[in-house]
Amino acid sequence: MAMRYTEFLCVLFCLPLLLVLGSSVTVQANPNYRDALAKSILFFQGQRSGRLPNTQQITWRSNSGIFDGRLANVDLSGGYYDAGDNVKFNFPMAYTTTMLSWATLEYGKRMGPQLPTARAAIRWATDYLLKCARATPGRLYAGVGDPNVDHKCWERPEDMDTARSIYFVTASNPGSDVAGETAAALAAASMVFRRVDPKYSELLLSTAKNVMQFAVQYRGAYSDSLGSAVCPFYCSYSGYTDELLWGAAWLLRATNDVSYFNFLKSLGASDATDIFSWDNKYAGAYVLLSRRALLSNDKNFEPFKQEAEQFMCRILPNSPSSSTQYTQGGLMYKLPESNLQYVTAITSLLTTYSKYMAAAKHTFNCGNLIVTANTLRNLAKKQVDYILGENPLKMSYMVGYGPYYPKRIHHRGSSLPSLARHPQSFGCEDGFQPFFYSSSPNPNILTGAIVGGPNQNDGFQDDRSDYSHSEPATYINAAIVGPLAYFAGTGRIPTEQGREAEDGGMSGAAVVGKKKSSGPKSLSANRAGSVLEAPRKRRIAGGAIITWFGEGLARTPRRRRLR
């Protein structure tokens, strides 16, 4: 790929400048993982939708979207805006929640004072997801806001005057992917809150079971049902089987119910993948399920362990079966748009599997390459350190971390003056000139935000209009919380077989089949009727709810385009 003009200028001017200034413009040689961890979690406060609490630390944000759901006579306030826009997409939001919960379960004791803030970040999402699952019988709400209109505007979330359209899936217009991911998020979070709030944990788990039943019983891709409301933004490119696998894996860990294991066996473990993301969950499910094979020596989970290790072989740069490209600076490079979302997600699997391997004193081979826990750990550290500044440009890709980081991120709230500084509202197009097109740094620092990252040549334009590289997203941050806690913490990795992850919760490591099933008799049942338990609400007639139903979509190899 030819070097862009801006990259050429950077080679001519930026690198000599770095040589002259030396350490004054570089991040510290030994990254401060604790500081980065705190900031990576704080970022989520900047993405909050709804009525903000008195404990809000990112104070340039204010209440927004407090009437979301009104079109359907339900309360769908809360949750997170996905990235730099003002839309709530439940598919990536649920994945964000699952990843935050997984990080907390694995590394809670390593988080130190950040553990309560991590729980708060999770709960902000789960409170909203519970509303989406329980507000209306037979429906799972899948998002709020019209992305096609929102992306034509540049206004603060506090000012947004675009339609707050509502999208949902039903038995006749299914969404097994968004339902499976929602079930995974609620099940994972139920373990996070099991000790600190048992009643809330029970509500999360019971709702997760119902949503999972819905996902299995009424199968179909949500992008086929919702069309342009979610595509091309968050199409289900990988289908929905991976979310069924992922959701069942989390419910198995949360309940130890044999019915979920039987369902997992029916799905099998055979997808050859070299990616992990908000869309494709196969690798994550394999690593999660391999935990039992490694920590409990449960042979029932051996096929999942084998798939997890084949995935690692496709990632490791020295593996004969590697299919992963690396930049000259050492960064994994998967796709041009928002590449760091894949880097952080895969890095989370590297650290977690490394932890399991160390506990089990396990190694495996990629051809002639012997892979140890340290092999995975070292690659994960390389990726984290690159993001924090150990890269050719010597810049951090986390906003507010280090002296040199992106200042012009593609983010509406960050790039426009706060309500305190500019009480007058901005209309849909009012923010473009002078703010969007300005070369000035954003007036509000979105601390902890990780942007899409550099290109395949390790180049980066700090350009607000370059959303592919300068836009942050919740799922980029959620996936790096675990690795940051892993490297920040000093707690011991558990070495006992069957020991629960560091933050406690239910063991979930007993051999499957020892516990009597207390869940649904069959996850493949074809019973009619609603599977979502919820109080009944009055239905709104006359097209107040905007939906797109089952006309099918032409699949493309494109990934989600950040805007």
What is the Cα–Cα distance from 528 to 171, expressed in whole angstroms? 9
Are the C-beta atoms of 470 and 452 separated by less than 8 Å?
Answer: yes
Under the banding of pLDDT at 50, 70 and 90, the label for residue 29 is low
Nearest Cα neighbor of 125 from 478, 537, 557, 519 is 478
Residues of the chain with pLDDT > 70: what percent? 82
CB neighbours (10 Å) of residue 148?
13
Coil, helix or strand for 292?
A: helix
In sequence order, what DSSP letters do the residues of 151-168 get, joined into one string? TT----TTT--S---EEE
Whole-number pLDDT of residue 30 = 82
Cis bond leading into 434, ω under 30°? yes
Q: Please state, in angstroms and as integers, the Cα–Cα distance from residue 26 to each residue in 9, 31, 85, 415, 483, following that order.
A: 19, 11, 31, 25, 22
Nearest to 72 by CA among 10, 5, 141, 130: 141
pLDDT exceeds 90 at position 555: no
Q: Give me the amino acid identity at 240.
A: Y
- CA angle (38 as vertex; 36, 43 as ends), nearest 5: 95
For residue 517, the SS3 value is coil
Structure tokens at 536: 């009944």
Measured CA to CA in angstroms, residue 130 lies from 65, 78, 120, 127, 156 at distances of 17, 11, 15, 5, 26
How high is the pLDDT of residue 315? 99
Rounded to whole angstroms, the Cα distance separating 150 from 83 reads 12
Confidence (pTM): 0.87
Cα distances (Å, whole numbers) of residue 213 to 143, 389, 519, 530, 532:
20, 44, 10, 10, 8
Q: Which residues contact 269 (CB under 8 A, 6 or more apart)?
A: 286, 289, 303, 304, 306, 307
Reported as a pLDDT band with limits 50, 70 and 90, residue 361 is: very high
| CA–CA separation, 209 and 41 (whole Å) | 28
Question: Phi/psi at 60 (nearest 5 deg)?
Answer: -75, -10
What average pLDDT does the structure give for the chain? 87
Supply 67's token pair.
């009437």
Contact in structure between 389 and 402 (CB atoms under 8 Å) = yes
How many of the other CB atoms lie within 10 Å of CB of 361? 10
| Mean pLDDT, range 501-507, rounded to an integer | 40
Q: Is 338 helix (H, G, I), strand (E, B) or coil?
A: coil
Question: Sign of the C-alpha dihedral, residues 311, 315, 318, 320?
Answer: positive
**Residue range 119-173, pLDDT digits in tens:** 999 999 999 999 999 999 999 999 999 999 999 999 999 999 999 999 999 999 9
Question: Can you give the pLDDT at residue 317?
Answer: 97
Full DSSP string of 14-49: IHHHHHHHGGGGS--SS--HHHHHHHHHHGGGGGB-
Active site residues: 410, 462, 471
- Count CA atoms closer than 13 A to 171's CA, side-chain side: 12
Residue 395 pLDDT greater than 60, yes or no = yes
Give the pLDDT band (50/70/90) at residue 351.
very high
Q: Which fold would CATH assign to domain 27-52+63-488?
A: Glycosyltransferase (1.50.10)
Which residues, 6+ apart, have CB-to-CB distance to 277 below 8 Å?
Answer: 341, 342, 345, 475
Q: How do residues 221-274 score in pLDDT, each as one tens digit?
A: 999 999 999 999 999 999 999 999 999 999 999 999 999 999 999 998 777 899
Give the residue from 468, 439, 463, 440 showing the smallest Cα distance to 453: 468
pLDDT on residue 28? 53
- Statement: residue 1 has pLDDT above 60: no
Q: What is the pLDDT of residues 473-490, one digit of tens each?
A: 999 999 999 999 999 985
Q: How far apart are CA 236 and CA 559, in angstroms?
A: 10
Give the residue-averaged pLDDT of 277-299.
98
Torsion angle, alpha carbons of 237, 238, 239, 245, to 10:
-150
**Share of residues in the chain with pLDDT > 90 (%):** 80
User: Whole-angstrom Cα distance, residue 42 to residue 58?
Assistant: 8
